[in-house]
Structure 1
Amino acid sequence: MKCYYQGCQNKGITKEHIPPKSFFPKGEKEQLLTVKSCEIHNNKKSTDDQYILAQICMNASPSNRAREVFLKKIEHQLDHNNGAFKRMLSQGSVALNDGAVKYPVDAKRFDEFFTALSCGVIFKTCDCQVPENYLIHHQYLNFVDEKNRPSSERAMLREFEQLISGEPLKALDFGKPNTENERIYTVKVFGMPGFKSSITVVHIFYGKFKVISLLTNVCRERS
């Protein structure tokens, strides 16, 4: 069987967790979905996983389980290696007038993480890769830059969110990867089965942190 990652021709000889195990509290293993992965695309970069997890928890806390996961999975790592991880998270941070702190986000890391996660979700749903004619990009609804969009774009985004807030219509029910631990991670996939349309993947972590992954069928869009 091929690796789960879009366009990869290597065999899937290892297992990749989607999302990573570190996102779940100890003892909650019912959510540990896996897909076949080659060694290259097996997510062995724990620093990236922890970076993404820390940012998600900081943006979702105290909602649902985010604060708990941060305290158990992230806090004890902040002072490792003379505080290297803490410095990485806080580099470029800005103190706001209301006492809050605005932290910068490494967009490239987030895009790479959610592209891999979306590829895994699709592979788990239909047992095949995202076709190479699909372009993947992401909207991060919890980040400040997303909220600073022009009013016309915000209105369009709100309308789009309403369309995908419920369960997919039958014609756009691409399938379900069978996520079970909704307090940690839920995902919905909108699109015509068999890759007959573009696909929208809605990820929600800890009931609050939402990412919309847009998988655009370039050939169909141009036809």
Structure 2
Amino acid sequence: MSCYFQGCSQKGVTKEHIPPKAFFPKGEKDQLLTVKSCVAHNNAKSKDDIYVLAQICMNASPSNRAREIFLKKVKPQLDFNNGALRKKLAAGSVQLPDGAVKYPVDTNRLNGFFDALSCGIVFKSCGATLPNNYSIKHVYCSLIGDQDPIMSQIEIEIEEFYSGKPMEFMEFGKPNTNNERIYTVDVFGIPNFGSSITLVHVFFGKFKVISMLTNLVQNTANKSKHSDAVNGAGV
């Protein structure tokens, strides 16, 4: 069986946990989902797992489960290796006028993590690797940023649109997540890669990320049809 990751032709010789086993406390790891992975893609993001978990827990408050996982999984790592994780989380932090502290987020690390998670969920849902003609982008609904107000409004509307369950014809597949107190995901899309795909990840019932997997070939074809229609109408 091939590796789960998009564009990888290597054999899947190891098991990749989705989400990573670092997200689950002792005694609940029997509920982990796994996919076949090559060695490279199994190890590529392992260094980011705790960083991403820390960001999720810090931004999932108030959630007792997020606090529990933070204390058990993240806190012991803060002083490890001369406080490397603590330094990464605190780098560039700014104290706000109300006394609160704003911590920057390394979105490249989050993007890499959620790229892999999205590929894993797609593979688990349908038993096939995400085709190369799909691009992947993520909307971090639970992070507060300094982006353009128009983009912020667009993201709010995207979140509202995908706030419910997929309609039957848009049920791409079900990965059968087992521990929904920690992680849930809904997958929107026509089965067999008949459309673009949207994944709505929720951690601890609070931290939401929407992954937009866009079928570029389909979008190009639709634009071509629209252009032909406009030209045919003499516009």
TM-score of Structure 1 vs Structure 2, range by shorter chain: over 0.9
How many equivalent pairs are there? 221
Aligned pairs for 1:37-116 (under 5 A) are 37-43=37-43, 45-116=45-116
Corresponding residue of 2:158: 160
Corresponding residue of 1:189: 187
Partners of 2:154 and 2:82 in 1: how far apart?
45
Distance verdict in 2 for CA 1:46–1:132, change over 3 Å: closer
C-alpha displacement of 1:44: 5.7
Alpha-carbon contact 1:16-1:42 (below 8 Å) kept? yes
Alpha-carbon contact 2:32-2:178 (below 8 Å) kept? no
Q: Secondary structure at the match of 1:42?
A: helix
Corresponding residue of 1:11: 11
Corresponding residue of 1:213: 211
Corresponding residue of 1:138: 138
% same residue = 62
Unaligned runs of 5+ in 1: none
2:167 to 166, 169, 184: 169
Partners of 1:197 and 1:45 in 2: how far apart?
28
Deviation readout 1:166-206 (Å, 9 max, x if unpaired): 21001101011000211100000000001010000010011
Alpha-carbon contact 1:30-1:180 (below 8 Å) kept? no
Alpha-carbon contact 2:141-2:155 (below 8 Å) kept? no
TM-score if structure 2 supplies the norm length?
0.89
Deviation readout 1:32-89 (Å, 9 max, x if unpaired): 0000000011136533111111111111123141111000111111111222221111
Q: Secondary structure at the match of 2:57?
A: helix
Partners of 2:14 and 2:151 in 1: how far apart?
41
Distance verdict in 2 for CA 1:220–1:209, change over 3 Å: same
Corresponding residue of 2:224: none
Q: Which has the higher helix share?
A: 2
Deviation readout 1:14-39 (Å, 9 max, x if unpaired): 00000000101111124300000000
C-alpha displacement of 1:103: 0.7
Higher-Rg structure is 2
Alpha-carbon contact 1:64-1:207 (below 8 Å) kept? no
Partners of 1:130 and 1:149 in 2: how far apart?
31
TM-score if structure 1 supplies the norm length?
0.94
1:222 to 216, 220, 223: 220
- Write the letter of the residue equivalent to 2:186: K
Corresponding residue of 2:229: none
